[in-house]
Amino acid sequence: MTRQRRDHAELDRLMNLYVSDGRPPEDRKQTLKDIIQLTFSHAFAEETVLWPTLRRLAEDGEELTSRVEQEHQEINDLVAAVERTDPADPRHDELVEQAFSLIRQDIRDEEDLLLPRLQEALGHDPARLRRLGTTWETVRRTAPTRPHPAVPRRPLANVLAGVPLSVFDRARDMVRTGAGSPRVRAIAMAGAACVTAWFVARRARARH
């Protein structure tokens, strides 16, 4: 679970950076974008790869994952509200503060409860943990990077709804950062499509 904890540490660093004093507005805006992109790609991969595994292997998996999925839904709703609010509006910082508080709570729940329980359910087997981590990383790299409150929190519905949104999100991200050439966008779209096809095929094999 090293990859997940590394993302958690980076989110904590970015949130602390965002609230630090004396930073230019454009720098804060970029930091917030970085937080949003990492938060939602990370969460989508958890919902697609990690939490279904925990539900399948652990008796309390349903209870644990339902709790964190509710947190993810609330984070989606809050960040969507942040994106609709002008940064000059006093409500913007209030919404950001609420979102950060919930992200930190989600990190604590995952670090203290879900990830240790998942490791236990996998028998602390390094090979199984590595395979699961690699799958999670593959999905994270092509996951949506923006809040989408209407997208379900569980497979396969989240994958079928999320992948077209991932293509849109990542193309928009690249345009905003000046990396939006047709070739790069095509690579992003092809990557997302391949991950979807792989995941659907994998789920189909698992049912047989």
Q: What is the pLDDT of residues 186-201, one digit of tens each?
A: 555 555 555 555 555 5
Closest CA to 159 of 82, 52, 67, 79: 52
Q: Of the given ranges (15-24, 46-55, 182-191), which has the lowest mean pLDDT? A: 182-191
Provide the pLDDT for residue 167. Answer: 86
Give the confidence band of 163 by pLDDT, cuts at 50, 70, 90: confident
Provide the pLDDT for residue 65. Answer: 98
Higher pLDDT, 191 or 161: 161
pLDDT beyond 70 at 208: no
Provide the pLDDT for residue 154. Answer: 96
For 56, phi and psi rounded to 5 degrees?
-70, -35
> How crowded is residue 98: how many other Cβ atoms within 10 Å of its Cβ?
16
pTM given for the model: 0.86
Written as six digits, the tokens of 168 are: 């849109």
| Sequence-ordered list of residues with C-beta below 8 angstroms from that of 35, at least 6 positions apart, any chain | 11, 14, 15, 18, 103
Provide the pLDDT for residue 183. Answer: 55
Query: What single-letter amino acid sits at 79?
Result: V
Q: What is the pLDDT of residues 85-130, one digit of tens each?
A: 999 999 999 999 999 999 999 999 999 999 999 999 999 999 999 9
Mean pLDDT over 39-66 rounds to 97
Q: How many angstroms separate the CA atoms of 124 and 115, rounded? A: 11
| Sequence-ordered list of residues with C-beta below 8 angstroms from that of 91, at least 6 positions apart, any chain | 85
Cβ contact 43:53 at 8 Å: no
CA dihedral 54, 13, 11, 96 (to 10 degrees): 130
Mean pLDDT over 31-54 rounds to 97
Provide the pLDDT for residue 197. Answer: 53
Q: Of the given ranges (11-20, 96-105, 129-138, 197-206), which has the lowest mean pLDDT? A: 197-206
